[in-house]
Structure 1
Amino acid sequence: MHIHFTLDDLARTRLAPAPSPLAMTSLSVYRLGHGPPSPGLDLWRRTVRAGLRASTDGGYDPFAELAPTAPSHPVPRFLRPYAGLRTLDEELERLRATPRQSLRADIDYIARHRDLPPRTVRDLADARPHETARLAAGVRAYHRVAVAPYREGLAAALAADRAVRSRQLLHGGVESVLRGLHPRMRWRPPVLELDGHADGDEYRLGGRGLVLAPGAFSTYVPCDPADEQPALYYEVFGGAHPALFTHLARPDNRRTALAALLGHSRAAVLQVAADGASTNRLAARAGLSAASASKHASVLRDAGLLTTHRTGRTVHHTLTPLGAQLLSAP
């Protein structure tokens, strides 16, 4: 696939403000069936498949019908927001509030490119509350098995990736980000070439620019011409973090080793900071006083594992790439 940029497109290309738990969940379905020969991802796939077999009730699941299971399957916009909210529950509430006109446009577009059950087309396109509730329940059930057990490692790796992209943008501009986006992507101005997609596919941004969002498990390029601003969801795992899922299958061992290295309190603070947190949130989730959490955060910051910034009276802590690497290392 070739994505064509104009000067206006380069000027309007930007990083997604935050990773989307819903988009990560939706795009992981494709990787579940079409994963690369990576030992870590293979273990994740086998574990998730077993978990899904044990948890499914065999009933109708609109999420299973809409999630991508082949390279040619487009993903509806309401399942792949590039502007992430803090939690999956918040994103599912936003999904359930999607206007009927938007739901219908998305369903109609998907139905033109792949077969969908008539029930999905009819009930979701009409924004029937019981059907959107069923869709949200399907997302939540799948997320519980495929994504939630790996939340800490995913958050750490995504934070590290965002730090890398921000540094590239700061020092080299948008073209520096495009050059280093993924090993299977090549920036040959003014075209971004993507391997693994249909040869001969040409996608012209037409001055809209591009949102670069971490797709976590897989790369996805929406080609819906109605997108106000297209988003490229690029794969974070597999190349940069090949062992991620291997060692995350043993979370208790990982926590024990991290606590032995840093001490239980600092290890807890580092893990909470994987999602980005204020000092008060660090304290609450790590079971510490605010003063103690602040002190531990200062030690971790001095060691290069956390970075801190202030917004008004609130102090926020996030992982540095080194902190993310330590948190997600075997």
Structure 2
Amino acid sequence: MHSHTELRLGPLDEVRISLAAHQSATLLSLVADVFGARGHGVPRRWRELVRAAVPPAGAAVLRPLFAPGYSVIPDCVTPTACLPHGDAAFQFTQLTDLSPQTLLDELESEFGGTVPPQWRPVVDRPAQWIHGYADVLQRVWREFRPVWRIAEPSLRREAERVGAAVLQGCGEAVLQDLSGRFRLAGESLRLPDPQAQTYELGGRRLLLVPIVSGPGASMFALDRPDLVWIGYPLPGVGRLWEASVTPPGPVKDPLSLVVGPLRAAVLRSTAQPLTMGELAALLDCSPANATHHCRQLTDAGLLERHRQGRNVWISRTERGAAVVELLSQGGAVPEAPW
């Protein structure tokens, strides 16, 4: 039988709801799924991307966070430390500046002075662990950042959807549809948690954080004095994967037949501007190979390039967008089979 933590909201028409598209929540969800067996539903391609970014020693650094039967992670090493503002880079800065004593104090506070076995190596060498943890997160984010950029239009649409619902007094409908793993029962929201507890919202702000990982994403922190935050799957994350990252492979669609599988993937991936390095990482090819194909597509008028500082940015032209729409199997993207 699955256990749940209960968040008692009070009168639903009085709940103050806001949204933050925070990169660090997605980052934590990715490593929780890939290295912590938390079942957030991250698709195979993204799992491979994340796993390849982390060496074996780095994966060992993450074990204390995801031991079976535990859901507690010190706030100072989670997105809680910088929500609702900041981004992944801001969290990395905070981790670099994190005092080992602060981590030790939070561990003692969280576990009542009896630190579980998985955290004891951290207690023995807190500064070394903090450094390793920050390094792992930065490695994963370097690989996943191009995917986040492609997700940004979907994140903006979700912010607009939630904002419109709140303005129209329909916050209850938003809470009912966050995730199949969450359940709104009367004035309480039930969240899956092996260490079931009960919290009162108590007039605090409820911050919703859409997560770009998989349809099973579930994260939350309910003990801050000013707000509680709940991470939930970005709606349509399956379609996002299918639409934004089509890896080279056997020719199956008209666009690939016309321009080739890799160039088809380039065109589909550049609906939003990407740097050449981001594009190469996204398509799992060398920068030289990506540059060659982008040059051919630019000569054909399907891509445009511009330099900003040290980076070359690539994006589709109107002609490129029209070609993708015309040749992408009727312009529709099938629902991903989650």
Retained in 2: the 8 A contact 1:43–1:246? no
The residue type equivalent to 2:184 in the other structure is: W
Deviation at 1:328, TM superposition (A): 12
Q: Larger Rg: 1 or 2? A: 2
Are positions 1:205 and 2:201 aligned together? Answer: yes
- The answer for unaligned runs of 5 or more in structure 2 is 249-255, 275-303, 309-314, 319-330
Q: Alpha-carbon deviations, 1:213-256, whole Å to 9, x = none? A: 22333111335x4654221112226xx32243355543677995
The TM-score, its normalising length taken from structure 2, stands at 0.60
Partner SS for 1:6:
coil
After superposition, where does 1:83-162 map in structure 2 within 5 Å? 83-86=84-87, 88-98=88-98, 102-111=102-111, 114-124=116-126, 128=127, 131-145=129-143, 147-162=144-159
For residues 59 and 85 of structure 2, what CA distance do their matches in structure 1 show?
Answer: 27
1:1-330 matches, within 5 Å, as 1=4, 2-7=6-11, 11=14, 13-19=16-22, 21-32=23-34, 33-35=37-39, 41-46=43-48, 48-49=50-51, 51-52=52-53, 55-58=54-57, 62=61, 64-68=62-66, 70=68, 72-78=70-76, 79-81=78-80, 82-86=83-87, 88-98=88-98, 102-111=102-111, 114-124=116-126, 128=127, 131-145=129-143, 147-194=144-191, 196-198=192-194, 201-217=197-213, 218-223=217-222, 225=223, 228-236=226-234, 240-246=236-242, 248-250=244-246, 256-257=263-264, 270-271=272-273, 287-288=305-306
**TM-score normalized by structure 1?**
0.62
Q: Secondary structure at the match of 1:182?
A: coil
Instruction: Give the alignment's Cα RMSD to 1 decimal.
Output: 4.4
Percent sequence identity over aligned pairs: 15
Deviation at 1:164, TM superposition (A): 1.8
1:102 to 1:250, Cα distance in 2 relative to 1, 3 A = same
What CA deviation, in whole Å up to 9, does each residue of 1:60-108 have, x standing for no partner?
854x13443546322322322332424x223211232346664334333
Unpaired segments of 5 or more residues in structure 1?
A: 262-266, 273-285, 291-295, 300-324
Amino acid at match of 2:135: A
Residue 230 of structure 1: SS of its match in structure 2? strand
Cα distance change on mapping 1:185 and 1:287 into 2, 3 Å: same
Q: Residue 35 of structure 1 aligns to which amino acid in structure 2?
A: G
